[in-house]
């Protein structure tokens, strides 16, 4: 089968590899779509991943059942969660795999086939197209919906989204759909333009005048909520500068750098901070319902490539010249 290999230093190639064999409890999926996530860029730009890739958003068809799998059937269409819980704890019973103490992340989904545990699979409605399914069962809309539930308050009117990569654009689409006034911020013109098309009321370039312009747009008070989707020192600093007293800062962007001070960033202005990573399996039916109610998630997709052209897709994504990108094996 064909498999994308990340060869490091912002390079990749498509290689031939043996299909994985599903272990007990797992299934083999024939990939219909996989999606590129911004979190993959660290590995892509860095040392790479010998023999494989960090792909973790995909949908496809079950083509082989591992031993003891009874909840799925051959030929079934599924979306998958890249985070898999142990299956035996209270959090797993609630469909909250990300809270399971034994949770593991899976990848290798930029391939013609991949193996995943059966409990990570969500059966897809027959009328849900592959493109939409890839976003609804992956990070693309999973993180924005998980975020939306954490800030479900009637007094929230204005939301700033810092960083307009795929997760940021998903937050723009989600919050606009929910009726909030959205201000989208990025340093790349292309992504700012996409955010505008997805429903941002105002789009701004992140420059020295950014906070002044946000204050002008919010009567000098700041936004009710700022969602940081970049995870950079500058975006985090701007998030706290842009939020109002008593407001909420949500962290979607990944960073291991220490950059916050309790008194300056939280105490003195009574700011709420919310961490939000991935989504719960139990939320997938809710996202299907949002799609049926009119959430047009496919608008986030700006490019599609065959798997054979994945190196070209990653290079374009790395330049910030895409929205959500799908690969079609």
**Residue 188: CB partners within 8 Å, gap ≥ 6?**
164, 320, 321
Q: Is 120 helix (H, G, I), strand (E, B) or coil?
A: helix
Q: Is the pLDDT of residue 259 over 80?
A: no
Nearest to 112 by CA among 27, 30, 176: 30
pTM: 0.95
3-class secondary structure, 237 = helix
pLDDT of residue 319: 97
pLDDT band at 305 (very low <50, low <70, confident <90, very high): very high
Of all residues in the chain, the percent with pLDDT exceeding 70 is 100
Q: Check residue 294 and report its DSSP letter.
A: T
Architecture of domain 2-138+279-328: Alpha-Beta Complex (3.90)
Question: Contact 14/310 with Cβ under 8 angstroms?
Answer: yes
> Strand order in 272-275's β-sheet?
202-205, 181-186, 158-162, 223-228, 243-251, 272-275
Q: Which has the minimum average pLDDT: 60-64, 248-252, 269-273?
A: 269-273
Residue 50 has pLDDT above 90, yes or no: yes
Extended strands (E) in the chain: 2-6, 12-16, 26-35, 58-65, 77-80, 83-84, 104-105, 113-117, 121-123, 158-162, 181-186, 202-205, 223-228, 243-251, 272-275, 301-306, 324-328
At 191 the pLDDT is 97
> How far is the C-alpha of 135 from the C-alpha of 129, rounded, in Å?
10
Domain ranges of the chain: 2-138+279-328, 143-275
User: What DSSP line would sit under 182-215, residue for residue?
Assistant: EEEEES-HHHHHHHHHTT-SEEEE-STTHHHHHH
For residue 266, the 8-state DSSP code is I
Residues 6 or more apart in contact with residue 160 via CB below 8 angstroms: 182, 183, 184, 185, 214, 223, 225, 226, 227, 239, 242, 243
**Helices (H), strands (E): how many in the chain?**
10, 17
CATH superfamily of 143-275: NAD(P)-binding Rossmann-like Domain (3.40.50.720)
Higher model confidence: residue 19 or residue 261? 19
Residue 22 CA to residue 29 CA, distance in Å, equals 9
Q: What pLDDT does residue 177 have?
A: 97
Pairing of strands 301-306, 324-328: parallel
pLDDT over 90 at 163, yes or no: yes
Class of residue 127 by CB neighbours under 10 A (exposed 0-12, middle 13-18, buried 19+):
exposed
Question: With 80 as the cut, is the pLDDT of residue 255 above it?
Answer: no
User: pLDDT digits over 68-124, tens only?
Assistant: 999 999 999 999 999 999 999 999 999 999 999 999 999 999 999 999 999 999 999
**Cα–chain-centroid distance for residue 230?**
12
Give 233's strand partners: none
HEC assignment per residue over 248-263: EEEECCCCCCCCCCHH
pLDDT value at 269 more than 90? no
Fold matches, 2-138+279-328 and 143-275 = no
């Amino acid at each position: 089968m064909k498999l994308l290999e990340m060869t490091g230093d912002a390079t990749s190639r498509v290689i031939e590899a043996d299909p994985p064999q599903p272990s007990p409890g797992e299934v083999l999926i024939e990939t219909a779509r996989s999606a590129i996530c911004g979190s993959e860029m660290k590995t892509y730009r860095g040392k790479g991943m010998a023999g494989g890739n960090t792909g973790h958003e995909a949908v496809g068809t079950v083509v082989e059942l591992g031993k003891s799998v009874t909840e799925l059937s051959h030929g079934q269409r599924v979306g998958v969660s890249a985070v898999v819980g142990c299956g035996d704890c209270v959090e797993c019973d609630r469909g909250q795999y990300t809270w399971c103490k034994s949770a593991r992340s899976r990848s290798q989904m930029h391939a013609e086939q991949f193996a995943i545990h059966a409990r990570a699979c969500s059966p897809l409605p027959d009328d849900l197209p592959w493109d939409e399914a890839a976003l609804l069962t992956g990070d693309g809309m999973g993180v924005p919906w998980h975020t939306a539930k954490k800030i479900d308050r009637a007094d929230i009117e204005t939301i700033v989204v810092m960083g307009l990569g795929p997760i940021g654009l998903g937050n723009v689409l989600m919050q606009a759909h929910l009726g909030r006034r959205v201000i989208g911020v990025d340093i790349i013109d292309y992504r700012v333009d996409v955010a505008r098309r997805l429903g941002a009321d105002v789009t701004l370039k992140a420059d020295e005048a950014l906070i002044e312009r946000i204050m002008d747009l919010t009567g000098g008070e700041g936004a009710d909520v700022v969602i940081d989707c970049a995870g950079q020192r500058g975006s985090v600093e701007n998030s706290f500068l842009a939020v109002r007293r008593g407001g909420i800062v949500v962290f979607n962007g990944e960073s291991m750098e220490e950059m916050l001070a309790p008194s300056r960033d939280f105490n003195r202005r009574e700011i709420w901070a919310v961490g939000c990573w991935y989504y719960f399996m139990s939320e997938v039916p809710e996202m299907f319902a949002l799609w049926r109610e009119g959430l047009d998630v496919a608008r986030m997709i700006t490019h599609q490539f065959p798997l054979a052209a994945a190196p070209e897709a990653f290079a374009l994504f790395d330049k910030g010249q895409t929205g959500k990108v799908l690969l079609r094996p």
